[in-house]
Structure 1
Amino acid sequence: MSRAEWAAVEDDERELLEDNNLLERRPSRKSVSRRPDERTALLDGPEDDGPEVDAKWDEAVVAGRIQTTWKREVAVLSRYSRSLIVTFVLQYSLTMASIFTVGHIGKVELGAVSLATMTANITGFSVYQGLATSLDTLCAQAYGSGRKSLVGLQLQRMVYFLWLVTIPIGAIWLSGTWILKAIVPETRTAELAGLYLKIILLGAPGYAAFESGKRFVQAQGKFEATLYVLLFCAPFNAFLNWFLVWHMELGFIGAPIAVAITDTLLPLCLLLYVYTQPDTRACWPGFTRRALHNWGPMIRLALPGLVMVLAEFLAFEILTLAASWLSSTHLAAQSVLSTLTALTFQIPFPMSIAASTRIANLIGATLGSAAKTAAGVALCAAVFVGLFNAVLLSALRNYVPRLFTEDEGVIALVAAVLPLCAAFQLFDALTANCNGILRGLGRQEVGGYVNLFAYYVIAMPLSFYTAFGAPQWGLYGLWAGPALALGIVAAIEGVFIYRLSWEGAVEDARKRNAEDHR
C-alpha cells in the first residue's frame, strides 16, 4: 500500500478500536495535521502508534471484539452512496438523452427508441451488468483481505469474459429487425428499432469494459472515479444527441451514433483516471496469463448475478413488448413510465452497490458482526429512499410526462398509471438493497431463485391476465404484476438475510480468497 492508504486504514482501525473501548481515544490525523498557528505547540504532532494499533487490531479481530455502530455505518454508506447516486443518474442520462431527443420527432420514433432500448437492455446491457456483479463480491472481498493484485486479476478475467459474451449479443442485435418484426405488430417501429441496435453494437465492447472497470475502482472505495468520468461523458452525450439529430439533421439515426461514441469513450476516460492515480494503479498487476485461467469461481458468482439482474430487467421490458399490442399510444406511454421508474431506481441501486462493497470489505476483513450492522443500516436507508420516491412520483404525475412528449393522449395515460408506479417504490428500494447485501455476501444464487419465482411464476401471469383478460385494465394491469413481485422479493430475501449466519459468510469468503491466492 501507499503511505496514504496505510494512514487511512490505520485511522479506520484506530477509530473502531476506540469505539469499542479497546484503545485510548486520541486526536485523529486530520485534527493534528492542520496548519499550525500561534496556539499550536512547537513540538506537537501525531504520535507513531502504528505498531500498537496493528497489535490491538489483530488481537481484537481474533477475539471477536470488534463491533461497529449504526452512526459509523450511516456515515460510511452516505459517503459511498453520494458519488454513486450521481454517477448512476448520469449514466442513465445516456439513455434518457436519446429518448428525450427522439421523442420530440414523433410518436412512432419514441416507441421505436423505447423498443430498441428495451431489447438492448434485455439482451446486452443487463447481461453485462448482471455478470459484472460478481466483481462486487470478488474484488471487494479481495481488497478487504489485503490482496490487492487479486483485484486487478479479477478485473482482467471479467473483461475477457464479457468480450466473449459480446459475440452472441452481437448476433442478436444484428438480427434485431427480423426478430422485432416477428414480435411487434407495427413494421416501421420494428425497422427503426432494429437499425438502432445495429449501430450501438459498435459501442458494446466499450460498455462491457466500463462496467467491469466500475467494479474495480468501487471495490477500492474510489466511488468518485466513475463520477468524474460521467461528469464529462454525460454532457458530451447530450450534446452529441442534439448535434447529430437536430443540427446535422440526421434524425433518428443520430441518437444511436451518439450512444456508440459515448460507450466507447467511457472506458478510455476511466483508464486515464486509473493511470493518474498511484493508489488505484497499485491494484493493477499488469497483463498476465493467469487471467485466462480459473474462471470457475467468477462464473459461479456471475451467472446467479445475471439471473438476479436480468429477471427484473426482463420482466419490466416484457411490459414494453406487451404494450405494443395495445396501441402506439400505450407503447409511448410505457416508454415514459419505464424511463421514470428506471430513473428513480438510480437512487436505491447505487446505494445497494455501496452496501455490497462495504459488506464485502468487512466480510473480507473477517468482521461478520460489523457486516451485519452495515446491512441493517442499508435496509433502513432503503425504506427512507423508497418513501421519498413514492411521494415524488405522486406529486409530479401531471407535470413530468410533458417533458417527454407533446401528445395529450400519452400524457393523460402516463398520469393515470403513475400512482401505481409510485406505490411500489418502497418495495423496489428494499429489493435493490437486499440484492446488494446478497452480492456482498457472495450469495447471488438466492436472489436469482427468488426473482425468477416472483416475476415469472406470479407477476407475469398476473400482468397478462389483468391487462388482456377479463379485467381489461390495459397498461394499468400490466404494471400490477411487477408491483406484487417486488413485494414478494423484498419479503423473502429480507427473511433470508435476517436468519443468515454471518460467521459462515466470513468463512466462505476466506476459502474463496485462498483459492485464488494459491
Structure 2
Amino acid sequence: MVSHFNEDVGQASLPTVTNEEVGLSHPRTILIGQTSQRTMNNVSEHTPLLRQSPTIPYIHETTDENGYNEVQPVEASPFSRIFCEELGVLTRYSLPVFATQLFEYSFIIASVVSIGHLSTLALAAATLGSMTASVTGYTVVQGLASALDTLLPPAWTSDTPHMVGLWTQRMVLVTSIALVPILVIWFNVEPILLLLKQDPEVARLASIYLKCASWGLPAYAFNCISRRYFQSQGFFSVPTRIIVVVAPLNAFLNWLFVYPLGLSFPGAPIATALSFNLVSFASIAYAYFFVPRTTWCPIGSSIWRGWGVLLRLGIAGVGQTASEWWSWELIGCNLGPGPLAAQSVLLLSASCTYQAPFALSVATSVRIGNLLGQGNSRRASLVANTSLFMAVATAGVCSTLFLAFRNKWGYLFNDDPDVVRLVSSILPIAALFQVFDGTNAIAGGIFRARGMQMTGALLNLSAYCILGIPLGLLLTFHFGYNLSGLWFGLTAGLVYGSGVGVWLGVLRADWESEVEKARGRVGAK
C-alpha cells in the first residue's frame, strides 16, 4: 500500500478496497479472503490478512430485516422527525466521548483543587506548571496523535485491518522520540521561567510540579494513542469504562498524597502521574483480554516505514491544536499570583464546559462522514444544523450555571476572597463566550468531516494570534483592564472564529459536491 499526502486537505489518503471489489453487498462488513498459513514476522502494508475480520462495531440505529439503516430521504420525512432522529444519533455518539474527556480532565482538576487549598502561592505555581505542561508537552502529544484520526479508521474498514496495529506501533515509536526534548525542558524549566520574569518561588514550585508530572507524560501519550486505537474499531466505550474507574481513585490519591501522607505540593502531580499510568496498564490489559486481535501484528522492520506521513499529519495537528491551547494558556502567565490563581479557576471551569461541545463535534464529524460516504448529502446538511442547535442549547445551560453561582464559584478552588471576587467579576464574560465556544467546536468537527483541517487551523491562527491575543494584551496592559481584558480579547477572537467557521463550514457548503469529494478520498465508487 502506498501512502500519498494530499496537499489540499492536509491529510494522508490511503487506497482502500471497496465492498464491490471484495464481492460484498452489505456496507458495514468486509470479509477478508482466506490465504495459506505464513509467517507474520515481517508484516507490512503489502502483507495479506490470514483470517476473517469481524463485523465492524457501530452504534446501532433502526435497521430493516437485511441489516440496512432505515434512513429516509429528507424529502420523504418531516423535518421534525429527522431532527429528532439525529438528536438521538448525535447524543449516542457524543456521550462516551464526553464522559472520557470529562473524567480525564478531572485528573488535572483534582490536582489543582488539592493544591489550591494549601495557599494562593501554591495554586499559582500549580497553574503555571500546568500551563507549561500544556504548552510544551500535552499539545505536542495531542497534535502528533491526531495523525491517527486520519490513518486508523480507513485502515480498519479496508482489507488490511492489521494496519491499525502497525500504524499504532509506529506512532508509539514516533511519540517516544518526541518526548525526549519535552522531558529535557520539564527538568530544566526553572531558569526558563525566571528568564520570563516569573516570581522566584512560583518558578521553583512550578519546576517541582513538572518534574513530578513528568512520570506521567509517557503514559499520557500512550493513552492518546490507545484511545484512537479503540475508537477506530468502534469500541468507543472502552476508554470511558477505564477512566470512570480510575478517576475517583485519582481524586482519592490526590487528597491522600497531599494531606494524610504529608507530601504537600508534590503529592498532587505524583498522584496524577500515577493515575495516567494506571489508565495505560488498564488499556493494555483490556486490549489483550477483551478486544479481538484482528489488528494485532508482531513488531518487525516495517515499523520504521511510513514516518513521513505520520510526521506531516502530526506536525499539522500540533499546529492546529497549539493555536488554540497556547492562546488560552500563555497570555495569563505573567499576571502575578492573585490573577494567576483566578486565571486557573476560570480556565479549569471553561475547559470543563468545553468538553460537551467537543464531544458533540467528534460525533458530528463521524456522523457527517458516514452520511457523505452513503451519498446522503441532504441529511448530512441537516446533521450540521442539528449539531449547531445542540451546541447552542448546551451552551445556554453552562452560561446559566456560571451566572447563577458566580459569587460562590471561586470557593470551589480557592479560599482567598480576592481570588473569588476576581473570578466572580469575569464569569459573565465566560458565560457569554460559551455559545461561541460551542459553535466554534462544531465548525471544527464539520471541517474535519469535509477534509478542511487546514482551513480550521488557519482560522484558529487568525482568530487568536491576529485578533484575540493582540486585543487582549492591549486591553490588559494599555487600557488597564487587567485579567478581564485578556478574556474580552480572546472572546472577541472566538466570536470571529465561530462566525467565519459556521459560514464556511455550514452555510457555504455544497453537500452534493462534498459527497463526491468524500468518496474520492476513500477511493469509493
Category of TM-score, reference length = shorter chain: 0.7 to 0.9
The structure 1 residue matched to 2:334, chosen from 309, 317, 322, is 322
Residue identity opposite 2:326 in structure 1: L
Within a 5 Å distance, the mapping from 1:8-27 to structure 2 comes to: 11=63, 18-20=70-72
Q: How does 1:63-102 map to 2 (within 5 A)?
A: 69-102=82-115
Q: Is the 8 A contact 1:203 1:264 kept in 2?
A: yes
Query: Aligned equivalents of 2:374 and 2:157: distance in 1?
Result: 5
Deviation at 1:81, TM superposition (A): 1.1
CA contact 1:145–1:364 (8 Å) conserved in 2? no
Q: Give me the whole-angstrom Cα distance separating, in 2, the residues matched to 1:249 and 1:136.
A: 42
Other-structure match for 2:480: 472
CA distance in 2, matches of 1:294, 1:13: 42
Alignment partner, residue 418 of structure 2: 409
CA contact (8 A) 2:468 2:494 kept: no
Contact kept? 1:467, 1:474, Cα under 8 Å? yes
Match of residue 304 from structure 2: 292
Aligned to 1:431: 440
- CA displacement at 1:285 relative to structure 2: 4.1
Asked whether the 8 Å contact 2:212–2:273 carries over to 1, the reply is yes
Alpha-carbon separation, structure 2, partners of 1:12 and 1:303: 44
CA distance in 1, matches of 2:373, 2:211: 42
Partner letter of residue 154 of structure 1? Answer: W
Structural mapping, 1:442-461, within 5 Å: 442-461=451-470
Match of 1:348 in 2: 357
**Aligned counterpart, 1:2:** 54
Q: Which residue of 2 aligns with 1:175?
A: 188
Measure the CA separation in 1 of the matches of 2:168 and 2:174.
10
Residues 251 and 408 of structure 1: is their aligned pair in 2 closer, same or farther, counting only changes over 3 Å?
same
Q: Which aligned pairs between 1:132-151 and structure 2 lie closer than 5 A?
A: 132-143=145-156, 148-151=161-164
Offset at residue 361 of structure 1 (A)? 4.1
The one-letter amino acid paired with 1:20 is Q
SS of structure 2 residue aligned to 1:495: helix
Distance 1:124 1:389, change over 3 A: same
Task: In structure 1, give the amino acid aligned to 2:317.
Answer: G
Question: TM (normalized to structure 1)?
Answer: 0.83
SS class of match (2:266): helix
Kept in 1: contact 2:339–2:483 (CA 8 A): yes
Residue aligned with 2:355, SS: coil
Give deviations 1:88-147, integer Å, cap 9, x for gaps: 111001001111101111110000000000110111112212232233333234445575
1:307 aligns with 2:315: no
Contact 1:144 1:365 in 2 (8 A): no
Give CA deviations for 1:485-507 in whole Å, capped at 9, x if unaligned: 11111112222213244465555
Amino acid aligned to 1:124: G
Q: Does 1:208 align with 2:221?
A: yes
Measure the CA separation in 1 of the matches of 2:277 and 2:250: 11
Q: Could you tell me whether the CA contact under 8 Å between 2:242 and 2:279 is conserved in 1? A: yes
> Cα offset for 1:302?
2.8
Q: Distance in 2 between matches of 1:437 and 1:512?
A: 16
Q: How many angstroms apart in 2 are the aligned matches of 1:381 and 1:150? A: 36
2:56–2:234 CA contact under 8 A, matched in 1 = no
Conserved? CA contact 1:434–1:490, under 8 Å: yes
Seen in structure 2, the aligned counterparts of structure 1 residues 167 and 6 have a Cα distance that, compared at 3 Å, is closer
Alpha-carbon shift at residue 474 of structure 1 (Å): 0.9
**Aligned-partner Cα distance in 2 for 1:145–1:447:** 27
More deviation, 332-341/346-355? 346-355
3-state SS of paired residue (1:180): helix
1:243-392 to 2 correspondence within 5 Å? 243-279=256-292, 281-324=293-336, 328-363=337-372, 369-392=378-401
The answer for the alignment partner of 1:25 in structure 2 is none
Report the Cα distance in structure 1 between the residues aligned to 2:326 and 2:59, rounded to whole angstroms: 45
Q: Give the whole-Å Cα distance in 1 for the aligned partners of 2:279 and 2:485.
A: 38
Distance 1:425 1:146 in 2: 43
| Runs of 5+ unmatched residues, structure 2 | 1-52, 74-80
CA deviations on 1:219-265 (whole Å, 9 max, x unpaired) are 33322111111112111211211111111101101111112212222
State the number of aligned residues: 465
Q: Aligned partners of 1:169, 1:90: CA distance in 2, in Å?
A: 25
Higher mean C-alpha displacement, 72-81 vs 103-112: 72-81
Whichever structure has more helix as a proportion of its residues is: 1
**Secondary structure at the counterpart of residue 350 of structure 2:** helix
Deviation at 1:439? 2.2
Amino acid across the alignment from 2:258: V
Deviation at 1:267, TM superposition (A): 1.8
Q: Quickly say closer, same or farther: Cα 1:466–1:400, change in 2 above 3 A.
A: same
- Pairing partner for 1:492 from 480, 496, 500: 500
- C-alpha deviations, 1:298-356, integer Å up to 9, x for none? 433333322222111101112321323xxx21111111111111111111112222222
Residue 94 and residue 152 in structure 1: after superposition, are their counterparts in 2 closer, same or farther (change >3 A)?
Answer: same
Structure 1 pair 289–181 and aligned structure 2 pair: CA distance change class (3 A): same
Amino acid at match of 1:92: Y
Return closer, same or farther for 1:450/1:267 CA change in 2, 3 Å cut-off: same
| One-letter amino acid of the counterpart of residue 341, structure 2 | A
What is residue 103 of structure 1 aligned with on the other side? 116
Q: Scaled by the length of structure 2, what TM-score is found?
A: 0.82
